[in-house]
Amino acid sequence: MKLLILTGMSGSGKHTAFKVLEDIGYHCVDNLPVALLKDFIELAARKGEEMSRVAVGIDIRNGDSISELQDILDELESDGKGFDILFMDADDEVILRRYKETRRTPPHSNGERIEETLKKERKIMHFLKERATYVIDTTHLLTRDLREEMSKIFTDNAEYKSLFVTVLSFGFKYGIPTDADLVFDVRFLPNPYYIEELRPLTGNDEKIRSFVLRDDTGKQFVEKMTDLIGFLIPQYISEGKNQLVICFGCTGGKHRSVTMANEIYEKLCEYKDIGVRIEHRDINIKK
């Protein structure tokens, strides 16, 4: 029997993760009391092929008994009963926004402010994150991105990608993205905005790409960026970083930044040990 323990922070996407696991054939049991875990494993093992892949949800809803899980996991390892742990996570600001949008509160808040509840929960759940086989940070993931990442891990048997990179284009006139890790100003490149026939187009159009990359400056920038990011990615993975947001900005976020984001995205897609997505934040803003 293949056992997966699904855990993580409240509001990080565990409910969606369970749906994905069900869709790919896992028998899912959510909010299992910690005290019943060993008995449940014994029962599931006796079912054979009927329950060959099982996902068990154990998280802060167990209350104080969550601390007992550490010893139980140690016992399971000593008994040779293998398991994996999937820890779902997200930035506290994002989790807070999700709760506000749904007008809900964490199940264990007991009337406290959500910020304080999350702070306590993160401290309590830290031992599980440290022990996790997989950590998926959903801060910048759409539902389809989460499904794709989980499918790669649990269906395609692809190597787990511990670092997820978002390549983002933006316009400086609309502000620098608050979640940016690396910001590169590409306003030194030729600007198609001043060519009347090119102005309505975007960096997704080949005419704009050709214009921006028409001389060696743009091409050299892509080469140097590729080398820099190629150096940085192993360092970030070694540090344990889960999310990296690389931003390219021009004046309006429609031409040059989009072109460069696309170029770097294509280069990053060649890496097998990371997940990559692209977003053009300001491409549709009307000037």
Q: By three-state DSSP, how is residue 249 classified?
A: strand
In a domain, 286, yes or no: no
Question: What CATH code is carried by the domain that includes residue 125?
Answer: 3.40.50.300
With 60 as the cut, is the pLDDT of residue 210 above it?
A: yes
With CA atoms as reference, report the closest residue to 53 among 159, 155, 161.
Answer: 155
With 80 as the cut, is the pLDDT of residue 109 above it?
A: no
273 and 225 share one domain: yes
138 and 28 share one domain: yes
The reported pLDDT for the residue numbered 159 is 52
Last residue of a domain, one of 111, 136, 154: 154
Q: Which of the four pLDDT bands, split at 50, 70 and 90, describes residue 84?
A: very high
With 80 as the cut, is the pLDDT of residue 204 above it?
A: yes
51 and 168 share one domain: no
132 and 175 share one domain: no
Question: Which 8-state DSSP code applies to residue 160?
Answer: P
Q: Which of the four pLDDT bands, split at 50, 70 and 90, describes residue 274?
A: confident
Could you give the residue ranges of the DSSP H alpha helices within the chain? Answer: 14-23, 37-46, 69-78, 92-102, 114-131, 143-154, 206-212, 216-239, 256-268
The tens digit of pLDDT for each residue in 22-64 reads 888 889 999 999 999 999 988 888 876 667 889 999 999 998 8
Residues 6+ apart with CB under 8 A from 112: none
Q: Give the number of C-alpha atoms closer than 13 A to the C-alpha of residue 127, restricted to the C-beta side.
A: 11
How far is 279 from 57, CA to CA, in rounded Å? 32
107-111, 159-163, 202-206: range with highest mean pLDDT: 202-206
Sign for the CA dihedral angle at 54, 59, 63, 67 comes to positive
47 and 96 share one domain: yes
The reported pLDDT for the residue numbered 156 is 58
39 and 150 share one domain: yes
The reported pLDDT for the residue numbered 5 is 95
Rg (CA), the chain: 23
200 and 271 share one domain: yes
Letter for the amino acid at 271?
A: Y
The reported pLDDT for the residue numbered 246 is 96
For 23-87, give the DSSP string. HTT-EEE-S--GGGHHHHHHHHHHTGGGGSEEEEE--GGGGGGGGGHHHHHHHHHHTT---EEEE
Mean pLDDT (the chain, rounded): 88
204 and 123 share one domain: no
The tens digit of pLDDT for each residue in 3-18 reads 999 999 999 999 999 9
How far is 239 from 192, CA to CA, in rounded Å? 40
Question: Which 8-state DSSP code applies to residue 94?
Answer: H
The tens digit of pLDDT for each residue in 134-164 reads 999 998 888 888 888 887 788 755 455 567 8
The reported pLDDT for the residue numbered 1 is 80
22 and 139 share one domain: yes
> Total structural domains in the chain?
2
186 to 52, 155, 251: CA distances (angstroms): 52, 39, 9
Which residues constitute the domain of residue 184?
Answer: 163-280
The tens digit of pLDDT for each residue in 184-203 reads 999 999 999 999 999 999 99
Q: Which of the four pLDDT bands, split at 50, 70 and 90, describes residue 172?
A: very high
* Average pLDDT rounded to a whole number, residues 68-75: 92
Q: Which of the four pLDDT bands, split at 50, 70 and 90, describes residue 242?
A: confident
Last residue of a domain, one of 103, 133, 154: 154
Last residue of a domain, one of 135, 154, 173: 154
Q: By three-state DSSP, how is residue 187 classified?
A: coil
* Average pLDDT rounded to a whole number, residues 155-180: 81
With 70 as the cut, is the pLDDT of residue 93 above it?
A: yes
With CA atoms as reference, report the closest residue to 117 among 10, 252, 247.
Answer: 10
